[in-house]
Amino acid sequence: MKNEWTNVALGEVIERRENFCTIFPEIQYKEVTVSLWGRGVRLRKRILGSEISAAKRNQASSGDFIISKIDARHGAYGFIPNELEGAVVSNDFPLFRVNSEVLCPRWLYWVSKSRFFIDLCVRASKGTTNRVRLKESLFLNLVIPLPPLFEQQRLVAGLDSIEVRLNSIQKLRDDSELELLAALRSAFHKLEAESELLPMGEVAPLVRREVPVESDVNYPELGIRSFGKGTFHKPPVLGIETTKRLFEIHEGDLVFNNVFAWEGAVAVAQTVDNGRVGSHRFITCVCNSELVLPEILQFYFLTAAGLEKISQASPGGAGRNRTLGIKKLERILVPIPPIEQQYDFLRLLKLRQSILKHRAKAHFHTEAVIPSILDRILNC
């Protein structure tokens, strides 16, 4: 512990704040959601009092420290922002006012972003597996390091400055990624102008490879993220535990999740996906390699024009009621540029993937900067 730093129980520097208000059925109220892992507090929704199952609720004020009893051990806490002044919260979200004469609220903000603070909340959370909750009395007895107020302000100024610079770096990355995607879309639109329109059933027909399900065999499943974010691997399912028909997926397949295709759940199966299985909900199409590359079709179906065609082929209401029909998919007309131009565009796609991979690594290291600094500050 540094000279002049002390250890102080949270209950000595923050106090429970209660400002209960009567809930009137005809009045609209703001409700709060607290994101996990210290990612902030934001509006959950606006709701009429008649939809709230309580006669009274605690009312938040800007600057209150809020914590979720259920998810405190997962970093669900933060400060009420100005736009949530007057929002109502249930008893599962206690509010605390910081004694700013001894504790700078931004110092608590930064301390709460540390692994150290999460570990404290884990220690203060008790209960069985599905009923683990923060015990308020234990939480208020937790001890945090408290530098003198002037030292808190100095450290906070430094951390805030680093945060601003890191946010600027991330914004530059985000902006350049958008510009890169816009350039790719522009290049693709030029290809479309020279393309022949052919039906999916002709250029990339449906192929089903049903797998005989044996009760004692594990089957590795594949998942597809929406918004063109690719495939992911689900835990294996034991044959005896599934009632679904399973179909094998091969590398290079163009795969649609027919429930969420309308929101971009389309991917090209990669080498690591080869041999995994999906249910009948997964539509696997195999491209005629002399006519079209699967990556070209995937890119098209993630453009506004492509998504519109998928939406038209997915009748029904929202969510799981919107299902891509196989026959409708087969009739969708897709642009087929000359195959040489497709390979040129594929090289651009691979270049973008390489750039995004490097950026993801850089983002990972950027995200680790402040936690590393906090660890050094709090453990020196």
Domains along the chain with CATH numbers: 6-147 (3.90.220.20), 196-336 (3.90.220.20)
Cα(256)–Cα(254) distance, rounded to whole angstroms? 7
Task: Give the CA count within 13 Å in the CB-facing half-sphere of 26.
Answer: 0
Three-class secondary structure of residue 202 per DSSP: helix
* Pair 201, 292: CB distance under 8 Å: no
pLDDT of residue 166: 92
Three-class secondary structure of residue 119 per DSSP: helix
Low-confidence spans in the chain with pLDDT less than 70 = 1, 129, 317-321, 380
Cα 158 from chain centroid (whole Å): 29
Instruction: Quickly tell me which residue has 């102080």 as its tokens.
Output: 8
pLDDT of residue 358: 87
pLDDT of residue 120: 92
pLDDT of residue 39: 87
Q: Which amino acid is at 326?
A: I
pLDDT of residue 379: 79
pLDDT tens per residue, range 318-338 = 555 689 999 999 999 999 999
Strand partners, 294: none
**In what helix (H) or strand (E) does residue 108 lie, and over which residues does it extend?**
helix 105-111
pLDDT of residue 271: 96
Q: Return all residues near 45 (Cβ < 8 A) that are at least 6 apart.
A: 31
